[in-house]
Structure 1
């Protein structure tokens, strides 16, 4: 008896920066996409099965562990390459998202172009998967989401663009880093976008992440988490509820605080409070 196909599912979420970033996670079995094109870029990784699509006059197959992509204005279709269909995670990006990274990498900041529709690059596929999963989580801060997506775009452009560009130079930019630290410390409880932080510091988001990490050894979003935990430690000396402390310090909920607090301090907030009381 033949095994029945898996149920088809699709989940979409959006991020409010760079002209809008759309995340799709889906499993398709009988789906056949009609020929169409996108106004922006699409890039993703195949999690299971394989997808066949017509692209640039060829019929190509993206299989598990590979990257599939299309560039703006390039017509394509899509359907399962085998009976069981395929599952994938996709990013849909406005052109300005690619330009954000291209301005830092290319001597002439033109919109990047990619010729191939399928990339056999396991490392990039794994990075797409990790980034997509992280960005799906509601507790992930906007600053972390932008940072992770920027690094994904940098890797994609440098490894596969027709004109990949080069590693940008990193200066000290002490004032910009100092200003960024001040803003994070003053507004630690806000879900502060990286783009706003960079604008206030006087650098591009891409450049700020690089010089901040070069100088301090951690990214702006890691510094934001560190600052929030420091504030939570101070509040745990009082008698406020841990759930309230979590919300006051910018965490999504008590579980979010507990997970990150233990990762950095080594004990849970409740255990830390008991240690303070016992001392």
Structure 2
């Protein structure tokens, strides 16, 4: 990855896999700061250069060169450079159903794997992540090679570091009022909903609702609404709508508003993301 001293570069790719699509990111960031959010996918990657700092599971962590960083669905986290020169990394974003299908290769009665640590020091697995990502990024791999490499990577990762857990923080385990509010915002991301309305869904006072929401999900209701809007925009970017129309459809005031928040969550502009995704699927 060629770059200037402070140039930031990010490339995305979508790879069809058993059970769903896998998204890949390779990026160099220096000033990028990811806002606090959570994924509904597993995110696992390899730090090629530099170091990334992030707040995860109540601790301040640093993923440095040669290590693996990961987050599980529902765990709120952020991200920023831990050195003056930033960091370069390769990431996979894996839907839960994809990971569960891989877990089924290890046991006849699989449960959804959980990974407690946010940083892993495992040279063999790190090398596998690097080699798999590079092979799929090149575009020269056949479908059979891509799926074989990914399946071997996932089985290796789960076998070496996976734990059993009945669920994830913030996804299916939260207070009823939080679940109702979360579902409402996800279904109505463009609505300018009030705190009072969300609190009434679960028969709580606004202050009580605010406390349990932040406790259960690790982010504020406003941050979740922005995330729901960005996630909705991400899906629409695979279609034909103009960027300005995507912004309006998702509740952003204008295209620049969408761009600012999209980059804070995904580290790339909506226009570049659209180009990468649509090119990956042609």
TM-score by length of structure 1 reads: 0.56
CA deviations on 1:136-161 (whole Å, 9 max, x unpaired) are 12221111100100000011001111
Match of 2:136 in 1: 135
**C-alpha contact 1:106 1:163 (8 A) present in aligned 2:** no
TM-superposed deviation, 1:16: 2.2
Match of 1:14 in 2: 14
Structure 2 Cα separation of the partners of residues 63 and 103 of structure 1: 31
Structure 2 Cα separation of the partners of residues 79 and 5 of structure 1: 17
**C-alpha contact 1:32 1:80 (8 A) present in aligned 2:** yes
Q: How many residues align?
A: 161
Task: Flag the structure with larger Rg.
Answer: 1
Structure 2 Cα separation of the partners of residues 143 and 71 of structure 1: 27
TM-superposed deviation, 1:107: 4.9
Match of 1:99 in 2: 100
TM-superposed deviation, 1:163: 4.4
Structure 2 Cα separation of the partners of residues 160 and 107 of structure 1: 18
Structure 2 Cα separation of the partners of residues 142 and 96 of structure 1: 19
**C-alpha contact 1:38 1:73 (8 A) present in aligned 2:** yes
1:121 aligns with 2:122: yes
**What does 1:149-164 align with in structure 2 at a 5 Å threshold?**
149-163=150-164
TM-superposed deviation, 1:19: 1.6
**C-alpha contact 1:41 1:95 (8 A) present in aligned 2:** yes
TM-score by length of structure 2 reads: 0.55
Match of 1:44 in 2: 45
Flag as ranges the 4+ runs of structure 1 deviating above 6 A: none
Structure 1 Cα separation of the partners of residues 109 and 76 of structure 2: 27
Structure 1 Cα separation of the partners of residues 11 and 80 of structure 2: 18
TM-superposed deviation, 1:108: 2.9
Q: Secondary structure at the match of 2:151?
A: helix
TM-superposed deviation, 1:59: 0.3
Match of 2:54 in 1: 53
Structure 2 Cα separation of the partners of residues 19 and 127 of structure 1: 21
Q: Secondary structure at the match of 2:147?
A: helix
Match of 1:84 in 2: 85
Could you say what the CA RMSD is over the residues aligned between the two structures, in angstroms?
Answer: 1.5
Structure 2 Cα separation of the partners of residues 162 and 19 of structure 1: 22
**C-alpha contact 1:39 1:72 (8 A) present in aligned 2:** yes
CA deviations on 1:54-110 (whole Å, 9 max, x unpaired) are 000000000000000000111000000111100000000111111111112135311
> Which runs of no fewer than 5 residues in structure 1 stay unpaired?
165-279
Match of 1:147 in 2: 148
Structure 2 Cα separation of the partners of residues 136 and 72 of structure 1: 24
> Which runs of no fewer than 5 residues in structure 2 stay unpaired?
166-282
